[in-house]
Every structure is written in C-alpha cells, then in structure tokens.
Amino acid sequence: MLEIDVRKQRGAFALHVTFAAATPGATALFGRSGCGKTTIIHMIAGLLRPDAGCIRIDGTVLFDAARGIDVPAEQRGVGYVFQDARLFPHLSVRDNLLYGSRRARGRPPRLKFDDVVELLGIAPLLGRRPHGLSGGERQRVAIGRALLSQPRLLLLDEPMAALDEPRRAELLPYLESLRDRFSLPMVFVSHQYAEVLRLADEVVVLDRGTVAAHGDTCAMSRSPALRAIVGPESIGAVVEGTAGEVDAPTGLARIQVGAGQLLVESADLRRGQRVRIQLLARDLIIAVAPPAGLSVRNSLSGTIDGLAPDGERAWLVSTDIGGATLMVRVTDDARQALELTVGQRVWVLVKTVSLRGHVFAGANRPPR
C-alpha cells in the first residue's frame, strides 16, 4: 500500500493531499495544470520536502515530519522518469541502462538487464547515443534505466507529454506490458484522459491542491469531479469485461460485461482476456421497451439507478446492467417523453462501430 498524507505551501499555492493506493497497481494523478500533480511526485521521490505529513510504501516510512524521518532521495528505492528522458548524451544506450543498475545499491535484482531490454524493445538501440533516438525511443531507454535501479515504486511524470500522437501510440503498449508483466507499483501523472483509461487501476483526481475524488478507474469514470475536467464529449462509463467467442470472419468478439454481452471489433483479443471499454454517454441510446428491427447489435437490459441534470437541456441516466454501470445522455424532452425514473427497467443500445478505438486490451489482469 502506498500511503500519502502531505501538506506543502508554495507561495500562494497550498497543497493538502491524503490518499492510499494499492501496490502493486498503476495509480494516475489526474487534474488540470497547476493542481499539484508534479509536486506530489517530487515529494514521493524525495526531491521536495513536505511541510508536514508522512509518506509510506508497504509499511516502510519514507517521510514523517512528526518523527523527523526524511529518507534521502537516493535511498528511497524509487525510480523516476521525467518528461524529457534526461539521458546522458555522452553515453551509449547500454551505458545509460547500466548507470541505472549501479544505482540499485544492493537491492535484490528482480528486474534483469536482458528482460528489461526485451520488454522495452530496445536491443537494436544498445550501441547508439541518445541524440540519434526518436522521442519515444529515448523515453523507453529512460524507463529501462529507472527499472534497472530495482525500484520498489516507479514514478512517471507525464512521460508522453513531449511526444506526438504516433510516438504516444508507440510507447503506450510498453507501459501496459510493464504494468502487467512485472507487477511493479506505478504512479504516473497525465493530462491525457485516454492514457489514464488505458493504464490506471486507480485514479486520484486533484483540484487546486486537494483530492477531489479517488477510486478505481471504472468507478471514477462516472465521477462528477472527473467529468468537470474532461468535458461533456468525454463523459461516459468505463467497464471491464471478459472476451468470449471471437469470430474471425466478422472480426467481432463477444465481451461479457455485467449480466450482458457486447459485440466489439476483436482486433487481437483472445478468449478469456480482460478488456476495458469506454462507452461514451453521447453514443448510447436508451429504450423503455425491448428493441426490435434495428441495425444496432448491442442491447443491454438494466435498471435506472440515477438521474442527474447535465447542463440546461440534457440529463445523464445511470443504468445498472447487473454488475456494471453505464451512462446515457438524453435530452430533457426525451427524459420527459419516456417518463424515465429511478428503478425503471430499460434497454441500453450500443452501436458496435461506436466502440472502435475504445477497447483497451491491456487490461488483461484479473478484475480488482
């Protein structure tokens, strides 16, 4: 368990943050610029001293103001990956990685050089210098160097902020593999909601130096605090399911979600694989009678468990489909015409094509 309870005053900005995150697991710090995300990362790493509070990981105290404990950064066993890689320009990729190994300071070598190189796909780069690498390649090397220091916790401060979209797409699968294969606790900062959905087990939403909301990624996708940041076009529920039958000719897979099934484009899905899907509220349709004669292939039966205004002329309808919750945006006129009420049985319709790009096969661990 990573336990954070810290205070810090920096000029007019006051930070007071308390949360606990499971280890192993990937925890995202998410919020607007200036809300305190990087300040928290720096305090965990030992690069910035809190004014008060404590920081513990798996029972080991890294900082405790009341007891006068402040473990030096180099002794905390924390790996740090910055936005800009910060590789040594005069060293080869191999020597940059070996520098990380030298910082292990006697910690058990859980992560071996060849395994890290293979995981990050950097074997062809070992003889090269940083100036000859792409942005994505530099970040992979920086991650490898941090891993080879044998950290108990990996911190990533917007590791993809300086990359363009193709390089982000290149790096994300490596971060997913790192999370799933090594079960190394990770705390990462991101401004990109899509990155949070793909990588995080838990999300800490920050607002002006405090925790506005905290919980697992699926639950947090429905949080008003998060919706206020990502905007109406990204509002929706994140659900997890298990891939069942995959039909090669049609390219569709059946995903068990709650008490229902969704047909999605299968891509590289395999039977039994855990899948995370974002279902945007704007893409869903709600019906008060069993649908028939429609081209929509996905129909999930459920019960309305919440209704909330979404602006002046729309409502968000929260629907329980037997263990998973979906959100549907409807106009106020539609809400009244359908006489939607809490406890009412409804059917949620999902276009298969609307799921394209929202299936995150990296979520292939057992459900939390």
Q: What pLDDT, in 10s, does the model give residues 175-190?
A: 888 888 878 899 999 8
Burial 101-110 (b: 16+ CB within 10 A, else e): bebbeeeeee
Q: Do 210 and 242 sit in the same domain of this protein?
A: no
Query: Do residues 90 and 225 both lie within one domain?
Result: yes
Among residues 197, 230, 263, the one where a domain terminates is 230
Which residue among 184, 215, 230 closes a domain? 230
Task: State the Cα torsion 205-206-210-211 to the nearest 10°.
Answer: 10
Q: What confidence category does residue 368 fall into, taking pLDDT thresholds of 50, 70 and 90?
A: very low
pLDDT bin (cut points 50, 70, 90) of residue 130 is very high
Q: Percent of the chain having pLDDT more than 70?
A: 95
Same domain, 342 and 267: yes
Statement to judge: residues 115 and 74 lie in one domain: yes
Structure tokens at 340: 């939607």
Residue range of the domain that includes 314: 236-360
User: Do 209 and 266 fall within a single domain?
Assistant: no
65 belongs to a structural domain: yes
End-to-end CA distance of the chain: 15
Q: Report the DSSP beta bridge partners of residue 203.
A: 28, 215
Residues 250 and 287 in one domain: yes
What digits encode the pLDDT tens for the residues 187-210? 999 888 888 888 899 999 999 999
Using 50, 70 and 90 to split pLDDT, how confident is the model at 41? very high
Read off the pLDDT of residues 207-234 as tens digits, 9 standing for 90 and up. Answer: 999 999 999 988 888 888 888 888 877 7
Candidates 265, 241, 230, 206; CA nearest to 326 is 241
Residues 260 and 348 in one domain: yes
Residue 366 lies in a domain: no
Looking at the structure, do residues 175 and 267 belong to the same domain, yes or no?
Answer: no
Q: What type of residue sits at position 241?
A: G
- Reported as a single tens digit per residue, the pLDDT across 91-121 is 999 999 998 888 777 777 778 899 899 988 8
Q: Are residues 21 and 138 in the same domain?
A: yes
Conformation bin of residue 159: beta by default, left when phi > 0, alpha when psi is -120 to 50: alpha
The confidence score (pLDDT) of residue 273 equals 82
pLDDT digits (tens, 9 = 90+) for 259-268: 888 888 876 7
Residues 108, 139 within the same domain: yes
Is 242 in the same domain as 107?
no
Domain boundary among 173, 207, 230: 230
